Amino acid sequence: MDIYEQITKMADEIAPELVAQRRDFHKFAEKGWFEMRTSSIIARKLTEMGYEVLVGDQVCKKDARMGVPSDEELEEQYERAVAQGADPEFVKYTKGGMTGVIGILRCGEGPTVAMRFDIDALGVFEEKDKSHRPACEGFGSVNEGFMHACGHDGHATIGLGVAKVLMSIKDSLHGTMKLIFQPAEEGVRGAKSIVENGHLDGVDYLIGSHVSDKADDDPAVVIPGSHGSLATTKYDVFFHGVSAHAGGSPEKGKNVMPAVATAILNLYGIPRNSAGMSRINVGTVVAGSGRNVIADVAKMEIEVRGETTEINQYMEEYAKNIIEGAAKMHGCTSEMKVMGSAYSLTSDQALMDRVRRVCEEKLHLPVSETTSSRNGGSEDVSYMMRRVQEQGGQATFMRILTKESAPGHNRRFDFDEQALPNAVKVFCGTVYDILG
C-alpha cells in the first residue's frame, strides 16, 4: 500500500469522526473574533496530536486585526465560550478576540507548505424548521444569530483531519507543514493580521480551499484553483452633523440624512470600469435619533470590489470623494474606517496542475475540467497567497465540490459531509507529492 492509498484509507476511516467534529463546530457557531471555543478545541487537538501549536497573539498581530467587536461583546462571548465547553487551558489565550491557531509539523530539511483553514461563522439566524437537516438532527446552532452558513465548520474540521493524516505519515515527509486555522474570514478581516505576524514568510507552497456547490451529476470532487475572487475593501462610514428640532428650527441643524442619501445614490453610480468588474454596496445604514429631530449621526457599512487591485483602488478613491463631498455639502463631517480588505487572487498554474495530477493519477479522484471560477466574491486568503507569490512561492485556492442545500450565507445552508474526507485526501495527497 503506497502512501496515497494510506491517505485514502485513513481519510475514509476517520470520516465519522470528521462528521461529528463538524457538527460540534456547527452547533457552537462563533462569529469572527469570537471563535474562542473553536480555537481552544483546535489547539487542544493539535497539541494532543503532537503539533507545535501557536495561539493567542502568536497567531494574529493584535493591531492588524480588522473589524474587531467592542470589548463588552468580546467579554460576553468569552463567557459564553467558557460556558459552552471551551478547552479551559487554551481558551484563556483567546481573551479579547485573540482567536486563531497555527499547528506546525517540522520534518527535517525541505520546502515549507502552508495550509489555510478558516473557522468563523456568519451573523445569520439558522433555520429551525425540521426540513433543515441541522435542525432535524440536533446540531443546529445554539448561538442565536450565529450560523455556519458558509461551510467554515467544515473547513476547520478538514484542517483537523489533515493534521491527523499528515502526522500519521510524517516519516515519509521532508520539510515543514503549517496548518493555519484563521479567524474572521467573513468580512475579510483576519488574514492580514496573520501575514503581518510573518507566518507566510518563507512559505514555498500555500493551499487553501472552500466548499462549493456542484451539479447532481458532476462526479468531480475538486476544482484545483480559482481566479476571479475580487479585491475588496470594507468600510464603516460615519457622518456627524448637528441636531435641531425638525419643526421648530430645521435650518439650525446640519442634517446627515440628505448627506447619507446623496452618498448612497452616488456610490452606486460610480462609473463602471472598462478594465474589468467592479462592485459597490451600501449594505447597512443606521441614521438619526428621532422622528422629529434633524439627524446628527449616521453609520453606513459599505464595501467596494474590483476585478484587479487597481480597479478596487479606483473604487476606493471615488467612494472617499463622494462621501466627503456628500458630508460637506450639508455642513457635516465624515469618517471612513477600514473594516476589512482583500486582494484579487490568482492560483498558480503549476500548483493547480500538481493538484490535478495527484488527484487523477494517485488518488483516483475526478477533478473538474474548469480551473477557475469567476464568482464576484472576495477572500482574504488572497493576502496570504500574495505574500507567498511575491517570494516566488506557489499558491492555490481550491474548491471542494459538494452538494449544498442552499446558497452560501442562507439560513438553510448545509452540505454533503462526504466533502470532508475528500478534502483531507486532496490536501494530504498534494502535500505528500511536494514533501514526499
Task: Identify which of residues 66 and 388 has a Cβ nearer to a second copy in the complex.
Answer: 66
How many chain residues are in contact with a second copy, going by CB under 8 A? 73
When binding is defined by CB under 8 A, the residue of 99, 141, 226, 378 that contacts a second copy is 378
Contact status: 329 vs a second copy (CB under 8 A): yes
Please give the biggest Cα pair distance in the chain: 85
Burial 97-134 (b: 16+ CB within 10 A, else e): bbbbbbbbbebeebbbbbbbbbbbbbebebbeeeebbb
CA 344, distance to chain mean position in Å, is 14
Q: How far is the CB of 205 from a second copy (least distance, A)?
A: 27
Question: Would you say 118 and 150 are in contact if contact means Cβ atoms under 8 Å apart?
Answer: no
Contact status: 370 vs a second copy (CB under 8 A): no
Q: How far is the CB of 11 from a second copy (least distance, A)?
A: 30
Contact status: 412 vs a second copy (CB under 8 A): no
Question: Would you say 298 and 287 are in contact if contact means Cβ atoms under 8 Å apart?
Answer: yes
Task: Identify which of residues 248 and 392 has a Cβ nearer to a second copy in the complex.
Answer: 248
Task: Identify which of residues 130 and 252 has a Cβ nearer to a second copy in the complex.
Answer: 252
Task: Identify which of residues 83 and 272 has a Cβ nearer to a second copy in the complex.
Answer: 272
When binding is defined by CB under 8 A, the residue of 11, 55, 60, 295 that contacts a second copy is 295
What residues from 46 to 85 belong to the interface with a second copy (CB under 8 A)? Answer: none
> What are the angstrom distances between the C-alpha of 174 and each of 29, 266, 324?
36, 56, 55
Q: Which three cell numbers, joined as nine digits, stand for 343?
A: 486582494
Contact status: 409 vs a second copy (CB under 8 A): yes
Contact status: 350 vs a second copy (CB under 8 A): no
What residues from 233 to 292 belong to the interface with a second copy (CB under 8 A)? Answer: 234, 245-253, 255, 257-258, 260-266, 268-269, 271-275, 277-292
Task: Identify which of residues 271 and 392 has a Cβ nearer to a second copy in the complex.
Answer: 271
Binding mask 185-204 for a second copy (x = CB under 8 A): --x-----------------
Binding mask 98-137 for a second copy (x = CB under 8 A): -------------------------x--------------
Task: Identify which of residues 140 and 408 has a Cβ nearer to a second copy in the complex.
Answer: 408
